[in-house]
Structure 1
């Protein structure tokens, strides 16, 4: 049967612009020339099966159901299985896979099923690694782990709350609008805490008073105001999302409600459309973004990891926060990157160095064991305490994206595109790298080989 000609140049062009990809970067990712891509975008050429496959494979969250009359999805899954670089075998040529799918569909489906099962086993291995690292027993995940995993499963974007916050934020026309709405609409007085009160904020519901810490910086003050307003304005939305979350324990649902209020506060201070457009315009320069929106460095980074609204996605970023002991206390990812959920993150990851060097931005080009490459930045931060007898909080935040998005990420300008990357992993327990001098312990499934006559940085092979 004759395949119909599919023209979708406007959609391709819109996708490229949303992701801040130059034509050269998009063409390279699709495996076509710049002139060929330009002809597609100008509706001069239809989408051929190879280009459609590349679009579906490279942008699965952005490019779905574009051609429901053929078997593109099955073919993409087969190519994904046959070319997975994390499997120790030579990848198959996509054209050969396409011929195999056409001539031996049952064999292709079996290959895809085996690949899916292998991926699930790797995911289970990561869960086991997390349980070992966190010391969790058979009692199931702790409430805060449930909430963190729920946000991850949602892609760290909560549509009804984000849209409600954006609509309210667009009605604010001056810097003190948060305070005025709390006072005028909800009858809440804003007061300053005593010097000896070390709490960030306290809400006195009986007397309708919000008491804010006396030493918090302006961006933290704004966030606390936005958080209290979100709890009041978006009560119904938060309640509905929490009720539909499927979280098992009441404690987890309560923590989720607080997390959703925090999410809404960030969306109030950094409304989706304005923030996404500014981020693309400024090439995700965090210092310029935080100055424009009155946010902290961490808040500005965190918000970038949430910009995944269907049809208006930003660059897919991962974001995390790491403390002085290497514990990952926040993690959100819109990328395929997997990193340790607790301690034990790869020591070659620059975020560990950043913790010890506050207020300096470090950059890194890193490569995972599966061949995926990421450009990333990290910065050490210090939050001062209210008194000498309380040590300040020290930690680092990291933000990164896949290397293909480097042209839209200002911090990648310090790195050489396609250059030598630092080989990092998730954690030593599940990292397959055999030649890492920083390995802390062997992989769980590795068979140790020890040679007493050979001395190396790591005293074993596997």
Structure 2
């Protein structure tokens, strides 16, 4: 495959003008003729490796020789033009030419499309709230935090990279069992590291004790002994992240456009993100996910994490230049409430009310410890491969009911070859929607409510499964 060409006319002009150089002086620095420089600045010629090296040498702080930028731009354009409202406007060749020859225009278009999608999401929130009978669309603090992570792509780079560096140090520590290939810090390594941070770890024998309690006065972390092994590991990693990255977390929270009530929740969420990155270091986890075709059970074994933790981490693989396949992830309780959600795909989740009853995740809640798969199609014609598994978190006491829920993970069908769960699905998709109030399908027997934006007709002489027709 030929190396993509890079056109950087506007960048060159900006560099030259910021340095107060004329075209002749700039051409002399780069070792090219004035006419050649003019062609570069007008995007008539791509930047060669020789010119790029000269730019990096003379403008080390301003010139970024990003060889992956054209490829990422083409991929982003392809994703935008896959949107149903734009699908008829682009071709593969046209997108490649646009990305190469007019990168500034392509970037502006991508920004415009992203803004349009954000506006559509806001409109959907208002429509769904109205359809659900809510008097206001004001977000609760936990919704603000959820939306903050969604806007961030469910990935926080400074925290993730710092946690990965910490994991590398802990994995290389002598306390690690060197008889097997290192993938994640051991529990003993985590406890030892907390000791170096002057934090002592204790276990509470009381069944009704909090899962985690930290006393800053005595610098003591107390964990509930009844917790599963993977949960204890995660809480140890959370405490390490909260202590080691306190300044970074505080800076991110201070800069976030959220209410004061949401800020403590965001700080917890950021520490949780870093904890996941510590137990499942980005490069190691992404490499293992590709190698296993995203087999969750195998990832759990390699990184000593729970099924939910591995699924959640897969939804955070959004590092620029090292992105995993775009996936959606959610957690649903017995009542159908979505308590966790993120989507890097075109699939979006209902904010109010339940999800589509035809989606496999609802069946999974009732059948714990069994993986169910489904090929689904949304009203816009996009197909998704979904995997869902019902889970039970023990309470440690007969007096307390265990927590039951299901997690779902999936990708668009075009990525099925990299998703092991696609191997057992059929060719006929199940038609699903976002929620009944937003789904336009006129012939769904599972419909609980009419669409909010469609009229209905009721015939007193005809009774079908759904007692009305959607017009």
Match of 2:444 among 428, 431, 436: 436
Q: Does 1:218 align with 2:226?
A: no
CA distance in 2, matches of 1:78, 1:191: 51
CA distance in 1, matches of 2:441, 2:319: 36
Tell me the residue number matched to 1:50: none
Tell me the residue number matched to 1:364: 374
Q: Does 1:189 align with 2:204?
A: no
1:135 Cα deviation from its structure 2 partner: 6.7
Tell me the residue number matched to 1:256: 266
1:82 Cα deviation from its structure 2 partner: 7.6
CA distance in 2, matches of 1:164, 1:297: 24
CA distance in 2, matches of 1:292, 1:113: 39
Q: Closer, same or farther in 2 for the Cα pair 1:181/1:139, shift >3 Å?
A: same
Residue 198 of structure 2 contacts residue 219 of structure 2 at CA under 8 Å; is this kept in 1? yes
SS of the residue corresponding to residue 300 of structure 1 reads: helix
Residue 368 of structure 1 contacts residue 423 of structure 1 at CA under 8 Å; is this kept in 2? yes
CA distance in 2, matches of 1:265, 1:186: 16
Q: Does 1:279 align with 2:280?
A: no
Q: Closer, same or farther in 2 for the Cα pair 1:182/1:130, shift >3 Å?
A: farther
CA distance in 1, matches of 2:125, 2:376: 23
1:206 Cα deviation from its structure 2 partner: 1.5
1:454 Cα deviation from its structure 2 partner: 2.5
Tell me the residue number matched to 1:384: 394
CA distance in 2, matches of 1:277, 1:410: 15
1:126 Cα deviation from its structure 2 partner: 1.9
CA distance in 1, matches of 2:362, 2:392: 14
Tell me the residue number matched to 2:153: 155
Residue 379 of structure 1 contacts residue 398 of structure 1 at CA under 8 Å; is this kept in 2? yes
Deviations 1:174-224 (Å, cap 9, x if unpaired)? 2211100111x2222111102344311111222221111011111111001
Match of 2:3 among 5, 8, 16: 8
Residue 329 of structure 1 contacts residue 342 of structure 1 at CA under 8 Å; is this kept in 2? no
Residue 133 of structure 1 contacts residue 343 of structure 1 at CA under 8 Å; is this kept in 2? no
Residue 129 of structure 2 contacts residue 352 of structure 2 at CA under 8 Å; is this kept in 1? no
Deviations 1:324-365 (Å, cap 9, x if unpaired)? 000000001111111212432100000000000000000000
Deviations 1:243-280 (Å, cap 9, x if unpaired)? 22121x22211110110000000000000000000000
Match of 1:269 among 255, 279, 286: 279
SS of the residue corresponding to residue 170 of structure 1 reads: helix
Match of 2:457 among 449, 456, 459: 449
Residue 188 of structure 1 contacts residue 210 of structure 1 at CA under 8 Å; is this kept in 2? yes
CA distance in 2, matches of 1:292, 1:127: 39
Q: Closer, same or farther in 2 for the Cα pair 1:195/1:337, shift >3 Å?
A: same
Match of 1:199 among 210, 230, 241: 210
Tell me the residue number matched to 2:435: 427
Residue 326 of structure 1 contacts residue 352 of structure 1 at CA under 8 Å; is this kept in 2? yes
Structure 2: gaps spanning 5 or more residues: 7-66, 99-109, 177-185
Matches within 5 A, 1:24-43: none
Q: TM-score, normalised by structure 1?
A: 0.76
Question: Bigger radius of gyration, 1 or 2?
Answer: 2
Residue 129 of structure 1 contacts residue 429 of structure 1 at CA under 8 Å; is this kept in 2? no
CA distance in 2, matches of 1:438, 1:219: 38
SS of the residue corresponding to residue 256 of structure 1 reads: helix
CA distance in 1, matches of 2:434, 2:111: 25
Tell me the residue number matched to 2:245: 234
CA distance in 1, matches of 2:467, 2:383: 29
Q: Which moved more, 1:221-230 or 1:125-134?
A: 125-134
SS of the residue corresponding to residue 302 of structure 1 reads: helix
Residue 328 of structure 1 contacts residue 342 of structure 1 at CA under 8 Å; is this kept in 2? no
Structure showing greater relative contact order (alpha-carbon pairs closer than 8 Å, 6 or more residues apart): 1
**Aligned pairs, how many?**
385
Deviations 1:275-324 (Å, cap 9, x if unpaired)? 00000001111011011101000000000000010000111111000000
SS of the residue corresponding to residue 388 of structure 2 reads: strand
Q: Does 1:177 align with 2:182?
A: no
Q: TM-score, normalised by structure 2?
A: 0.74
Residue 294 of structure 2 contacts residue 419 of structure 2 at CA under 8 Å; is this kept in 1? yes
Tell me the residue number matched to 1:298: 308
Matches within 5 A, 1:109-120: none
Match of 1:329 among 323, 334, 339: 339
CA distance in 1, matches of 2:111, 2:419: 36
1:123 Cα deviation from its structure 2 partner: 2.9
Q: Closer, same or farther in 2 for the Cα pair 1:120/1:459, shift >3 Å?
A: farther
